[in-house]
Amino acid sequence: MTQNKLQLNEGKTEALLIDPQNSPNLPLSITIGQNDICFSRSVRNLGVIFDDKLSMKQQVSKICQSAYLELRRISSIRHVLTVDATKTLVTSLVLSRLDYCNSLLSGIPQQLIDKLQKVQNCSARFIFKTSKCTHVSPLLAKLHWLSIAQRIDYKISSLCYDVVSDTAPL
């Protein structure tokens, strides 16, 4: 840090020790220079929340919370919006949250995928003003939306294709 003329800001610095097996003999902090930094249970980096087990539970909960908040905000003006305008708003404000860094969600438990899928299903029903008991598959097909699991696979496939075809940034 000294060589790069950087200074450690203790108030903003977080450290995460990843330990999926809960080992009992791990240190509680790390010393960097004169500063003692305690390990956090979770940290945020570029808007993604990582926990000490890399379970992504907190990240999925935060995504769902912010997506439902956006749906509630849109619902206050839904009565004056067309289906196309609503689709555009939901795509911009809700699906963008579901898609942001979703490649990091590859391999998470199905119950977390299901939570995200419920948000997407709710969004599709919201766009078409249908009830909760309406089957969502035709709505997703009409919107040309992939399921959450398919969106994650598509993102990873696209990234891999870019690397293999030499179109990815260096």
Rounded distance between C-alpha atoms, residue 50 and residue 57, angstroms: 9
CA distances for 168 relative to 99, 104, 153, 155, 157, angstroms: 19, 18, 18, 13, 13
* Residues belonging to the chain: 170
Q: Is the pLDDT of residue 1 over 80?
A: no
- What's residue 21's pLDDT? 79
The CA distance from 35 to 157, in Å, is 42
Which residues, 6+ apart, have CB-to-CB distance to 134 below 8 Å? 125
Block residue for tokens 């800001």: 9
Between the ranges 3-12, 27-36, 63-72, where is the mean pLDDT highest?
Answer: 63-72
Q: Model's pTM, two decimal places?
A: 0.86
The tokens 């003003």 sit on which residue? 129
- pLDDT for the residue 102: 94
Please state the rounded mean pLDDT for residues 135-147: 96
Which residue reads 């999925």 in tokens? 60
Judged against a pLDDT cut of 90, whether residue 20 lies above it is answered with no
- Which of 30-44, 69-83, 145-159 comes out lowest in average pLDDT? 30-44
State phi, psi for 128 to the nearest 5 degrees: -95, 5
Q: Helices 57-75 and 110-128: crossing angle, nearest 10°?
A: 10
pLDDT of 33 over the 80 cut: no
State how far the Cα of 5 lies from the Cα of 128, in Å rounded to an integer.
55
H-helix or E-strand spanning residue 88? helix 83-90
pLDDT at position 38: 86
104 contact partners, CB below 8 Å, separation of at least 6: 48, 56, 59
- Predicted pLDDT of residue 25: 81
User: Can you give the pLDDT at residue 22?
Assistant: 77
Tell me the pairing of strands 29-32 and 15-16: unpaired
In the numeric block, which tokens belong to residue 131?
């009830």
User: What's the pLDDT score for residue 131?
Assistant: 93
Domain boundaries, the chain: 1-40, 55-164
